[in-house]
Structure 1
Amino acid sequence: MKQLYIKQKVFSLNEKFTVKDQQEKDVYFVEGSFMRIPKTFFIKNREGGEVALITKKTFSFLPKFFVEVNGQEILTIKKGISFLKARYTIDAAGIEVHGNWWDMNFQVYRHGDIVGEVTKEWFTWGDSYKVQVVNEEMETSMIALVVAIDCVKADEDGAASTASFTN
């Protein structure tokens, strides 16, 4: 089982951060499109090759995020209609997420077999997540899933703070 760590910088305006292994070596580089439409996050490997892309659909009634790994769309995260609380769903062929993915504590299954687990690290400066990869061929997909969920959460937090300023 491989363990990876994602730690975002709290005050990073350029939306760049790295994914590290247990020896604290950089494994992936994540770069967001600051102030660009559509909102995108690129995930690159050590050699600088793009391995995943997260894109927020620009003109949609409800927020929708698409996740591509190695050029193929693997999942979509979309907001549903709800009056009391934000409700999001993850649509993916063969991939299921069990647990509290909104709080970043969940397991990922593919065709019924566990492929990884994500836990939020507490008492850290910025958001930090531990990603345990059971099936190494799903490593990039696991990282893309965590970054996508974090992007959805940040988008929701931004919408909530904007709404509070306008009321």
Structure 2
Amino acid sequence: MRFLVRDRLLGIGDDYWIEDESGHKVFLVDGKAMRLRDTFELKDTDGNVLIDIHKKMFALRDTMAIQRDGEDLATVRRKRLSLLRNHYRVHLADGTELDVGGKILDREFAVEYEGELLAVISRRLLTVRDTYGVDVVREDADPTLLIAVAVCVIHLAEKEREED
């Protein structure tokens, strides 16, 4: 299952649509401007919030939290003690972990669980400028969670680049 994400345009709120392969709008990433912490909502086309994403305020390292229906679903942070700057770890609420690695800022990376590929994020095969694809490889994987992970990882990598 492939989703197409148009990179955020500079603007207040950082809102952008995610489309399916046919070009139909499926999800809206609603960036909340004027907040103390970085906050995004992943909404369906009716405006219902499916996933809430926010930066944790009091974490030693930059950390993004993902919640569904007010319940913690996952936390995302750069992998500690990694020589690769573009390696992130996702801690799911059930105790499992996902690894995210690749060229995050180039939108060329993968999400894996115990070495098994769950999703590939890439702009390599797309001809539309400022767009990248999120290919969910496993049929039993949660596409909304994987899209939220991609949003978090890209946001954290961009923030880290700004601080350097």
After superposition, the CA RMSD in angstroms is 2.9
Amino acid at match of 1:147: V
State TM-score, norm by structure 1: 0.76
**Equivalent pair of 2:87/2:99 in contact (CA under 8 Å):** no
Specify whether residues 70 and 106 from structure 1 end up closer, same or farther in structure 2 by C-alpha distance, changes over 3 A only: farther
| Structure 1, unaligned runs of 5 or more | 161-167
Alignment map for 1:126-145 (pairs within 5 Å): 126=130, 128-134=131-137, 135=139, 137-145=141-149
Aligned position for 1:165: none
Partners of 2:97 and 2:80 lie apart in 1 by 23
Map Cα deviations across residues 58-79 of structure 1 (whole Å, 9 max, x no partner). 2334311112245443332224
| Structure 2, unaligned runs of 5 or more | none
Aligned position for 1:33: 32
Aligned position for 1:13: 12
Specify whether residues 154 and 27 from structure 1 end up closer, same or farther in structure 2 by C-alpha distance, changes over 3 A only: same
Aligned position for 1:55: 54
Choose the corresponding residue for 1:115, options 111, 115, 118: 118
3-state SS, counterpart of residue 155 of structure 2: helix
Alignment map for 1:59-78 (pairs within 5 Å): 59-78=58-77
1:42, CA displacement in angstroms?
Answer: 0.5
**Which structure has the bigger radius of gyration?**
1
1:123, CA displacement in angstroms?
Answer: 7.1
Specify whether residues 107 and 62 from structure 1 end up closer, same or farther in structure 2 by C-alpha distance, changes over 3 A only: closer
Aligned position for 2:96: 94
1:159 matches 2:151: no
Partners of 2:85 and 2:101 lie apart in 1 by 17
**Equivalent pair of 1:28/1:44 in contact (CA under 8 Å):** yes
3-state SS, counterpart of residue 36 of structure 1: coil
Q: Which has the higher contact order (CA 8 A, sep 6+)?
A: 1
Partners of 1:91 and 1:137 lie apart in 2 by 14
State TM-score, norm by structure 2: 0.77
Number of residues of Structure 1 aligned to a counterpart in Structure 2: 157
1:50, CA displacement in angstroms?
Answer: 0.8
Map Cα deviations across residues 19-53 of structure 1 (whole Å, 9 max, x no partner). 00111110000111213112111000122111111
Partners of 1:58 and 1:156 lie apart in 2 by 16
**Equivalent pair of 1:97/1:106 in contact (CA under 8 Å):** no
